Structure 1
C-alpha cells in the first residue's frame, strides 16, 4: 500500500524542501554576522523572533524557486523513482537553488554600501557596467571568504540531499495510483499558493518587502527578516523607478520647489485626525458634485454633505495613485505612485520626512488605525517605516464579534474604538484611520439592511454605512475635551465603481473628496482649484504654523505662494500634469499631448498649437518627474 501511495517519494520531497529552509536560515545568520554593526538586534530573544518571522519570506522564495522541482516530483509519470529521473531532479534542484542562494552571500558585503537587500534595481545597475568580468574577479579575490562559505554551504547541502534517496519502485498504472497522485499534487499546489502569498486570507495581498517592516522595532531589522532572492523576485516587475535628466536643477527649484517653507501662520499645536476612506470617491458625495450638472444625480453620503457646509472642501481633487497603499503614502508622506507603487518598489525602506516625522518632532503622539488584520494592505509595514508611535488593527480591537467576515472590523464599531482610544491620549496627537467597510464584497451589517439606499451600484449602500459611521463618530467625539482643538481631514484613498458616465471620462478617474474641518470653522468654503492627496501634508503643516523647511512635492492648499495649483498623476500609461487651463501628458521624457482642462475625455490634442503656457507646463512636468525619481533612488526623501 505504501509503495502504491508513493509515501517514500513524498517524504523525500518534504525533506528536500526542508533542507532549503535550513540553509536559508544559515544564510540569515551569516548575513547578520557580517553586518552586525548595521543591524540592531539587542537580544537573543529578538534574534529568534525576527528569524521566525523570516520563515514566511523564506517560504515564498523557496516555493518560487522550487516550483518546477515540486511539480516534477509529484507528477504521476511512473518513472519518478528511476535513477535517471531522480538524477535529473537533483541537477534541477541545485542549479535553481544555488543560483538563488548565492544572492544572499553577495549581500554579506554589498549590504555595507547600500543598507538594503539587493533588488531588481541592483541588477539593472550592474547591467550598465562594461567590465562585469573584472568586477566579479575582483570581488572573488577581495572577498574570498564569502565564496568559501558559499561553497561550504553548497557542499553540506548536497551532502544532506544525498542522505535521503528514493528507492526505485516499479509503479503499476492503475486508477488508484493516478487518482491519489493527482489529488496529492492539487493539495500541495494549493498549499504552495498560500505559501507564496504569505497566507490564505482574502484581506491580505501577497507579502512583499514592505511586510518585513511590520515585525521590527528598528528599520535595519527588516533586512534581517528578508532574504535577497525574495527581494529580487518581489521587485522584478516593479522597478519603473529610473532616473531621467530632462531639465537643470534651477528649473526644478523654481517650478517644483521640492523643499517648502511656510511661515505666515501663527504656531499652534492642534490635534490632527485624518480619515482615509476606502473607495469613498467624489462621485458618491453631493457636496462635491454641485457644478457637474449630472442628470438625475444622487449622492449617498448625507453626513459628509452636512459636514462640508462647515468645512473647507476641494471639489477638483485627485488621488495620486489607484490603490489603497498609494493613498497612504500620498496623504501621509506626500509621495505619489505612478505606474507602480512606491511602497512595493525597491526603495521604501529609507528615512522619509513625512507628516508623521515632522509632527513627532513637534511633540505629537502619532497613531495609525486600520480595522483589518494587522499587516493587511502593507499598512503596518509602511507605518513602521514612517515611524508611527502606535498601530491599532484588528488584533488590538480584539473582538471578532464585529468582524465583517472578509476584510476587518465593521466601520461603525471601529470608529467608536477610534474615538475611545483617542480620548485616552494626551494632546497634541496625530491619528490616521483607514476605513474598511466600503470595499468589495459590498455588504453591511445585517441589522442595517434596508437603512441605507442601495442605489445603482453595490458600493452605494456601503458608502451610506461608512457615512453613518462617521456621523456616529463625530457625535461621540463632540463630547470629548480634545474635539474643539482638532483639525479633521477627510479624503478617499481612490475612487471605485462608476455609475455616472461623467465619471467614466479619463479626467474624472480617481477624483476624490478633500475636506478640512475645524469645529471653530476657521477654514470654510468651496475651492475649485486643482488639488491632490500629496497637498494634504504641506497644508496641515501650514495650518499649524510649522516654521522649518520640509520636503514636499505637494503644496499648501491655503497658501497663495508658488507653486501654482497643479495635479501630478499617472493615467492611461502616461504621466499627466494638470495646471492652469491645460493638461499635459508626458511619455516619461517629452510631452505627447496637451488638452484643454475641460476636455475630460482627452479627445482634442493641442500639441500642434503649442503656447508658452503649454511649454512651461511640460517643463514643470519634466522637473517634477526628474526630482521625484532622483530623490527616491538616491534616498533623499528626508529633505
Structure 2
C-alpha cells in the first residue's frame, strides 16, 4: 500500500519536473520580452507558476493517479497496466508538445494557448513540413521530451506486493483519503475563495509575466468548457440609428439645470480593471474593490 502511494507521488513529481523545464524553455525562448523586468518579479512568476502546474497536472492526470492508488495488481502489471501507461504517455506527451509550440505561438497570439488554436489546425496540416524545418529547435525538443518521458517514467517493480494487511486496512484507507484530498486541493489551486483561474496569473505590472506564470495545459483545460458568446441584439439597428440621429435641442432646453452625468465604458469588471488583483492602484482606483 505504501509503495502504491509513494509511486503515485513519484510519477506526479516526474511530470512536475517536465513542466518546470517547459516554463524555463518558454522563458529562455522569449528572453527578449523579459530583459527590462526585475529579476525578483521573474522569480516570483516562476514560484507562482508552481500552483498552476500542480493544478494542470492533477486535472489532466487525476483519473490515472486514482487508478494507481488502488492496491490491485491488474493496474500495474500485464496488458491493462500497459494500456493505462500508453494512454498516460499519449495524453501528457500531447500537452508537452502543445506547451513547446506555444513558446513560439505566443509571439503571434499574445496569450497562452486556448481552444481557439484548433480552429486553424487545417492550415497547420498544410504547412507542417515547412513549420518543422523552420522551427527545428521546437521539433527537436519535442522528440527529446518524448524519449526522456518514456525512458525514465517510474515503473512499479515486481517485488512490490499488494497486501494491505502489512499496514492495516484502516491505515490504507486513511492514507488514500489524505492523498486524494491533497490532490483535490492541488487541482483547485489552493484554499482561496475561488478556484484558480487564468486571471489570477496577471497580478504583475507586466503582462508578459502573466504568460510566464501560466502553462498551456492549464489554459486549455480551463477554457475548454467555455462556450463561444453569442451576439445578442437588444434593439433593431434602424431604430437605434433613428434614436441617435434625432434632434435633441428641444429636449435639453427644457431642463432646469445642467446635468452632471459621467458614463464609464469598460472592457469588463474583471479584477485587474478594478485593482483587486493588482499590487498597483489598478486602472480604476476610485472603484470599490
- TM-score normalised per structure 1: 0.38
* Counterpart check, 1:48 vs 2:39: no
* Residue 65 of structure 1, aligned match among 54, 57, 60: 60
1:250-296 per-residue CA deviation (whole Å, 9 max, x = no partner) reads 97995899xxxxxxxxxxxxxxxxxxxxxxxxxxxxxxxxxxxxxxx
Structure 1 residues 430 and 24: CA distance shift in structure 2, 3 A: closer
Deviation at residue 186 of structure 1 after TM alignment: 2.1
Deviation at residue 48 of structure 1 after TM alignment: 2.1
Distance 1:51 1:160 in 2: 25
Distance 2:36 2:13 in 1: 26
Residues 19 and 161 in structure 1, CA contact (< 8 A), matched pair in contact too: yes
Residues 121 and 239 in structure 1, CA contact (< 8 A), matched pair in contact too: no
Residues 54 and 226 in structure 1, CA contact (< 8 A), matched pair in contact too: yes
Larger radius of gyration: 1
Deviation at residue 57 of structure 1 after TM alignment: 0.5
Distance 1:70 1:19 in 2: 13
Q: 1:433 maps to what in 2?
A: 288
Distance 2:162 2:6 in 1: 17
* Residue 266 of structure 2, aligned match among 314, 331, 334: 334
Runs of 5+ in structure 2 lacking a partner? 245-258
Q: Residues 204-283 of structure 1: matches in 2 within 5 Å?
A: 204-214=193-203, 216-241=204-229, 254=241
1:79-115 per-residue CA deviation (whole Å, 9 max, x = no partner) reads 4453555434432321121112211111122111111
Q: 2:131 maps to what in 1?
A: 139
Distance 2:163 2:183 in 1: 28
Cα RMSD of the aligned pairs, angstroms, is 3.6
Distance 2:202 2:194 in 1: 15
Residues 40 and 220 in structure 1, CA contact (< 8 A), matched pair in contact too: no
Structure 1 residues 184 and 92: CA distance shift in structure 2, 3 A: farther
Deviation at residue 78 of structure 1 after TM alignment: 4.4
Distance 1:150 1:86 in 2: 25
SS in 2 for 1:118: coil
* Residue 87 of structure 1, aligned match among 82, 85, 91: 82
Distance 2:30 2:173 in 1: 46
Residues 75 and 182 in structure 1, CA contact (< 8 A), matched pair in contact too: no
Residues 76 and 156 in structure 2, CA contact (< 8 A), matched pair in contact too: no
Q: 1:158 maps to what in 2?
A: 150
The count of aligned residue pairs is: 270
Deviation at residue 18 of structure 1 after TM alignment: 0.5
Structure number having the greater strand percentage: 1
SS in 1 for 2:207: coil
Structure 1 residues 180 and 256: CA distance shift in structure 2, 3 A: farther
Structure number having the greater helix percentage: 2
Deviation at residue 175 of structure 1 after TM alignment: 10
Residues 105 and 150 in structure 1, CA contact (< 8 A), matched pair in contact too: yes
Q: Residues 113-128 of structure 1: matches in 2 within 5 Å?
A: 113-123=108-118, 125-126=119-120
Distance 1:54 1:99 in 2: 20
Residues 4 and 71 in structure 2, CA contact (< 8 A), matched pair in contact too: no
Residues 16 and 53 in structure 2, CA contact (< 8 A), matched pair in contact too: yes
